[in-house]
Amino acid sequence: MSKISRRSFNKTLSKGIGGVTLLGGMPFACAISGENQEKKKLGVALVGLGSYSTYQLAPSLADCELCYLAGIVTGTPEKEKIWQDKYNIPDTNIYNYENFDNIASNDSIDIVYVVLPNSMHADFSIRAAKAGKHVICEKPMAVSVEECDAIIDACKKANVKLSVGYRLHSEPYTQEIKRIVAEKVFGNVQYISAEAAYRSGGNPDQWRLNKALSGGVALMNMGVYAIQSAIYGTGENPISVTAQEFSSRPEYFKDTDETITAQFEFSSGAFGNIMTSHNTNVNRMYASCDKGWYELNPASSYGPLAGTTSSGDLSFPHERQQKLQMDDFSKHILKGAPNLAPGEMGKRDMIIVEAIYASIASGGKKQNLNLGSLGLV
């Protein structure tokens, strides 16, 4: 895959980004000791100020209990003043893509949240780790398993914490499904289906339709939600996958995948089907067990989600998922709470993504997986 320079990315950004996510021994980079333990709130810097940062992350940070928006990193100078005025960000906490590494000397920033096009995730996550900052990398974690490994290794070497932007693991409906699975409330899972899709339109120059920037459209964007649903909905990783690709708008999806279906086998004997697309609207997870069933519909939207089971409806109060997600990661840093979405989870999902693409490329041949418990939380 060809590399995208920051300059060329900014040019692409200006055309259509509306479709949108140093020293390890330094005391403040340690998980639960020293200065961080005494901090009431951790400072977060958002890298990339597209729609997800603008409409989801920044408003959520205003509500967080354990972290706050402390800084920004942008390749668009016009955004600096807008964000500075709106969120009271000091000049010293505003960076661009070129001087980003200077963030290493800024003690008011503890966490760097990378919200850039997928092909830029590894570069900025690794640079953040080398700067001694804890890292949240938006999903998908990277565009290859190799890049996932590089991010994980960089964070380990720098002794900083790493999380993937899987907001749903902090969300109560998802947590309830995970409890139902773990406690076998409805017995053993026999079949699971998961669909995550929306119809994409508008600017054909948006970065998601540029494979060099996104790595793919449907599977890399919405597909990871379907993969996640199939895994937490069964409580296990798949042992094989077979996949197919379809397109009804090739003139629009010239460089990327539009619709993908895949079939999973699990070691328990359960099987499942996932579908992801940028050409239709669906957002659902359903599981059939030997003593009942459960469903989330929607399953991965920004919420509120909705759920029901063979025993009745699920009902939980709605909070911004991103607020819950970032507070949970802050608890992990400050208090040693579990990391609900570790880097290994992002790597596992990318292994599955690569296997799906390999199955499609081979005409639908089964791809065996040897994931064990990788990424299960």
Burial of 15 from C-beta contacts in 10 A (0-12 / 13-18 / 19+)? middle
What are the DSSP E strand ranges found in 252-306? Answer: 259-266, 271-277, 282-289, 292-296
Smallest CA-to-CA distance from 132 within 159, 113, 108, 150 is with 159
Which of 52, 97, 130, 139 is flagged as catalytic? Answer: 139
307-309 sheet: strands from edge to edge: 312-314, 307-309, 292-296, 282-289, 189-197, 271-277, 259-266, 238-246, 367-368
- Lookup result for tokens 């490994």: 149
Which of 52, 95, 97, 225 is flagged as catalytic? Answer: 225
Annotation says 139 is catalytic: yes
β-bridge partners, 269: none
What are the DSSP E strand ranges found in the chain? Answer: 42-47, 67-73, 94-95, 111-114, 134-137, 162-164, 189-197, 238-246, 259-266, 271-277, 282-289, 292-296, 307-309, 312-314, 367-368
Catalytic residues: 139, 225
